[in-house]
Amino acid sequence: MAATSTSMDAERGILAGLLRRPPAVAGLVVLVVIVALAIFASQVMPYPPGQLSIRSRLQGPSLLHLFGTDEFGRDVLSRTIHAGRISLAVGGTVVVVSALIGVTLGLFAGYFRRLDPPLSRLIDAMMAFPDILLAIALVAALGPSAVNVVLALGIVYAPRVARVVRASTLVIRELAYVEAARALGVPTPVILVRHVLRNLASPVMVQGSFIFANAILAEAGLSFLGVGVSPDIPTWGTMIAMGRQFMDQAGWIMWFPGVAIILSVMSLQLLGDALRDLLDPRLSRTT
């Protein structure tokens, strides 16, 4: 039985498949909690995230302030939850941007033989740079702002999407149902969308979860280096960057956002790994 025929079945069983893998379940649970906290931030934050209180500045974790307070007396728990909204939003938007660019590049490179050499060279050239260096260069060129950070990271991760999309497109292009559509005289743009794109969802999803994880990390890295989003916008990255000055006296200011980053990145990685195993037809045969 051809691998392609299993993709519908595979997707139906994705959730069931994930639930059979303990690491994936752990990842899923943590991710759901983090996302829920971000969505219901205003209901769960114990204090307004911007509320200053000079009297209670740099206090360690206590019952009053579970994660302690920062140099302005703001509640670190509330700020970590609030910052999560932005960090996750940045990560999610980066996934969308990189998917848009990457899918387009990969689809064209994979489907049109003439376009493949130049596009593949472009993709390889972009992948040759270390992610964070390329991101810094792009942000420097575009100017530091939240939108430009998203754009820069979207561009940085687009080649990863492009590469898997190209590889899948090269396979799908040769399948009989694409040839059948050509034999019917279906216009090429319709073939690309109806027959190729629709069968690319799985590899893009896998890459998407890895990119999500990387983007959260990279955004924090850029913020830490001072080339990320403006320090006034609370993200996990900016919190760590600001907290660094008080590392010795009040480490909790950066620990907790750091833990939030680690948890979300790890859960996304675990999920991505499980998805990749599940959707890989060679592996799913044996499970």
Partner 1 sequence: MTIAVARDVDQAPATPLIEVRGLVKHFYAPGGRIVHAVEDVDLTIGRGRIVGLVGESGSGKTTVGRTLLRLIEPTGGRMSFDGTDVFALSAREMRQWRRRMQIIFQDPFSSLNPRLTIRAIIAEALDTRGYAKGRARLDRTVELLELVGLSADHASRYPHEFSGGQRQRIGIARALAVEPDFIVADEPVSALDVSIQAQVLNLMEDLRRRLGLTMLFISHDLSVIAYACDEIVVMYLGRVMERGSSRDVRIAPLHPYSQALIAAAPVPDPSRRRVHVPLGGDIPSPIAPPSGCVFRTRCPKALPACAETVPPLTDVGQGRFVACLRVGAGGVSL
* Contact residues for partner 1, defined by CB under 8 A: 1-2, 4-9, 175-177, 179-187, 194-195, 198-199
CB nearer partner 1, residue 5 or residue 245: 5
Nearer to partner 1, 9 or 124 (CB): 9
CA-CA-CA-CA torsion for 76, 77, 78, 84, nearest 10 degrees? 100
| Closer residue to partner 1 in complex, CB, 1/54 | 1
Minimal distance, residue 179 CB to partner 1, in Å: 6
Q: Minimum CB separation from partner 1 for residue 58, in Å?
A: 57
- Distance of alpha carbon 263 from alpha carbon 146, whole angstroms: 23
CB of 196 to partner 1, least distance (A): 10
Q: Decide whether 143 or 185 has the Cβ nearer to partner 1.
A: 185
With respect to partner 1, which residue has the nearer C-beta, 57 or 194? 194
**Over 140-172, what HEC string results?**
HHHCCCHHHHHHHHHHHHHHHHHHHHHHHHHHH
Compute the Cα dihedral for 51, 55, 58, 64 and give only its sign.
Answer: negative
CB contact set of 62 (below 8 Å; sequence gap of 6+)? 68
- The token duo for 277 is 């195993």
* Closest to partner 1 by CB, 172 or 253: 172
The rounded Cα 114 to chain-centroid distance in angstroms is 31
Least distance in Å: CB of 164 to partner 1?
Answer: 18
The C-alpha angle with vertex 18 and arms to 16 and 19, in degrees rounded to 5, equals 65
Least distance from C-beta 13 to partner 1, angstroms?
12
Handedness of CA 137, 142, 144, 149 (dihedral sign): negative
- Structure tokens of 68? 């302690």
- Least Cβ distance, residue 189 to partner 1 (angstroms): 13
Task: Round to whole Å and give the CA distance between 22 and 209.
Answer: 18
As a whole number of angstroms, the distance between CA 280 and CA 65 comes to 46
Minimum CB distance to partner 1 smaller for 71 or for 280: 280
The whole-angstrom separation of Cα 203 and Cα 216 is 20
Closest distance between partner 1 and the C-beta of residue 180, in Å? 6
